[in-house]
A and B are shown apart, each in its own frame.
Chain A
Amino acid sequence: GESVGLHLPTLSVQEGDNSIINCAYSNSASDYFIWYKQESGKGPQFIIDIRSNMDKRQGQRVTVLLNKTVKHLSLQIAATQPGDSAVYFCAEIKNSGGSNYKLTFGKGTLLTVNP
């Protein structure tokens, strides 16, 4: 039969382990990159961002790495907890002129944390 929707990439980890979620992007002119967390039934929630002129940025339990050579972005979550279970999206921000910024989301990754 016909499938409905796309199958999300999935990542399953044990509680306490570190998680790494990856994202490839195509627009080398992006100004910022953002990681969002989306829990079931909720809108995307900002986690961390990184300017395009940076390689690494750390937050609380999270680290984002940006490799512009291969156009790759990753989100590392330390000591993953059951509350981290959600879909994670990377997004690009590009200035489209003046004060206009365009936010483009990538494909999400479903993270499941097993207790």
Chain B
Amino acid sequence: ETGVTQSPTHLIKTRGQQVTLRCSSQSGHNTVSWYQQALGQGPQFIFQYYREEENGRGNFPPRFSGLQFPNYSSELNVNALELDDSALYLCASSYLGRPGNEQFFGPGTRLTVL
């Protein structure tokens, strides 16, 4: 059984650019959730994907978008990057229908926007 993996580990972008982050879910899981964790804070829910469609969204603007693929892996895309987008981006996989206490997190991608 493989765990949740994310790529890249670190990324540096400049304001206005676009970024794509990737996540491979844990074997047997069909749902991927993305979180933004700013320095010194708890993770904030961005959105969740199930069956290749968005299945819930937090308080993030439309320039944050995502995809889920048939193999349940997922991408997070952020357009028009702002300095405040600098954060650790975490993805968590789970099996939809289970109580949500079974989300397994990846190691995250550290995004720095200059």
Contact = CB atoms under 8 A, between A and B. Distances in A.
Contacts of B4: 43
Contact of A104 (B33, B45, B106): B45
B45 to A, nearest CB: 6
Contacts, number: 66
Contacts of A89: 42-43
A67 interface: no
A44 B100 contact: no
A106 B105 contact: no
Sort chain B's interface into a size bin: 20 to 34
The majority secondary structure among interface residues of chain B is loop
Interface in B36-93: 38-45, 48, 55-56, 90, 92
Interface string B85-114: 000001010001101111111111000000
A103 B42 contact: no
B45 A103 contact: yes
A49 B101 contact: yes
Sort chain A's interface into a size bin: 20 to 34
A4 interface: yes
Q: Which of A41, A45, A103, A105 gathers most chain B CB within 10 Å? A: A103
Interface stretch (A5-13, A14-22, A71-79): A5-13
B42 A102 contact: no
A42 B48 CA distance: 20
B40 A7 contact: yes
Interface of B: 4, 33, 38-45, 48, 55-56, 90, 92, 96-97, 99-108
